[in-house]
Amino acid sequence: MAATSRREKISAVDTAWLRMDRPHNLMMICGVLIFRERVALARLRRVIRERFLVFRRFRQVPVEAAGVAYWQDDRGFDIDRHVVRAKLASPGGRAELQTLVSRLAATPIDPAHPRWQFHLVEGYDGGAAVVCRIHHCYADGIALVRVMLSMTDAGADGPPAMPFDPPKRERAAPADDPVAQLVQPFAGALEVAMKVGGTIVDRGAAIWHDPAKAVALAEQGSALTVEIAKLATMGQDSPTRYKGKPGASKRVAWADPIPLDEVKAVGRALGASVNDVLLSSVAGALAGYLRDRGDDTDGVMLRALVPVNLRPMEKAYKLGNRFGLVFLDLPIGIRNPI
């Protein structure tokens, strides 16, 4: 008797991420792990099999039928398809690794199989590097950090930091929990919003062309009404050379780590958080780039979208996407970092 594959409905939020793929902007999370020691392909596959695949979701394929998205078991799952070797061009240093990651970030993953891959670069810098690619519909960055940590050992001689067991019973938030009172009214609104259209762009257009849908969202709570009003009246940020038609090719780069203690010291001296220091640095770097090319930055403002985690770490095993986005104006026109 032939085995049948199981199907689970994909949440509305994760379906939105599935449908947002565009040739110029693939909905794919990429990460790079660099190891001081060499890593054999067989060992990496064993770790992936024993620790990554304990999350059943990663053996499943997102499929759509009659407008509904499902998780479906991949009956032809082959780990050799998902954990592969990659080679760098000569001389095989950081620049060549960044070029490889740039190419992979712009390369779709075969939709006929689970949409993730690990690419092993053997011998990189005397050790090894692994490029991870996972489609955003599987999980957000916070959940995937937890997944990556579950694949590591707690210490050289310590026990493995394996995924924890799901709680046997999820505790309901107390009625007087102020966080629960703030978040719960938006749960239904988010569900409604995600079902309005297949993508964020389509959803927004549908709301503005059908006032009844906007009313349905507004009825979820007065706070949401305020947010919709802010979005409706939000002006454009300043025109700069950063605006334009995006291309399919990508360029990925990274810098050496900055000691966190130094960042915290700057924050303490200015009464600011680590995030404040980070975002000020981003604003300063973007502004410096513009000025180096002769652009006037006086009064210029760029708007960033900052992701905010909405899920406790102990719920990360559930995967999926649970985060919000905050609109933040970066004051590019301010030259003094203080």
pLDDT tens-digit map of 16-40 = 999 999 999 999 999 999 999 999 9
* Higher-confidence position of 305 and 98: 98
Tell me which range, 104-113, 206-215, 313-322, is most confidently predicted by mean pLDDT: 104-113
Most confident of 214-218, 262-266, 308-312: 262-266
Q: Whole-model pTM above 0.85? A: no
pLDDT at 260 over 50: yes
**Which pLDDT does position 220 carry in this prediction?**
53
| Residue 93, both tokens | 């240093």
Top mean-pLDDT range of 49-58, 234-243, 324-333: 49-58
| pLDDT tops 60 at residue 56 | yes
**Domain limits, CATH 3.30.559.10, in the chain:** 7-150
What's the confidence (pLDDT) of residue 180? 40
> Could you tell me the CA-to-CA distances from 62 to 14, 55, 131, 154, 188 in Å, in that order?
10, 15, 22, 32, 24
Q: Can you point out the beta strands (E) in 123-167?
A: 128-135
The mean pLDDT value for 302-330 works out to: 88
pLDDT in tens, 141-197: 989 988 998 888 766 665 655 555 544 444 444 444 444 444 344 444 444 444 433
Report the pLDDT value the prediction gives residue 244, as an integer from 0 to 100: 87
Would you give the end-to-end CA distance of the chain in angstroms? 71
Is the pLDDT reported for residue 229 higher than 60?
yes
pLDDT given for residue 188 in this prediction: 43
pLDDT winner (highest mean) among 1-5, 130-134, 202-206: 130-134
Q: For the residues 266-277, what does the mean pLDDT come to? A: 94
CATH 3.30.470.20 fits 7-150, yes or no: no
For Cα atoms 122, 126, 129, give the angle at the middle one, nearest 5 degrees: 40
β-pairing, 60-65 with 68-73?
antiparallel
User: For residue 335, what pLDDT is reported?
Assistant: 86
Average of pLDDT values for 134-142? 95
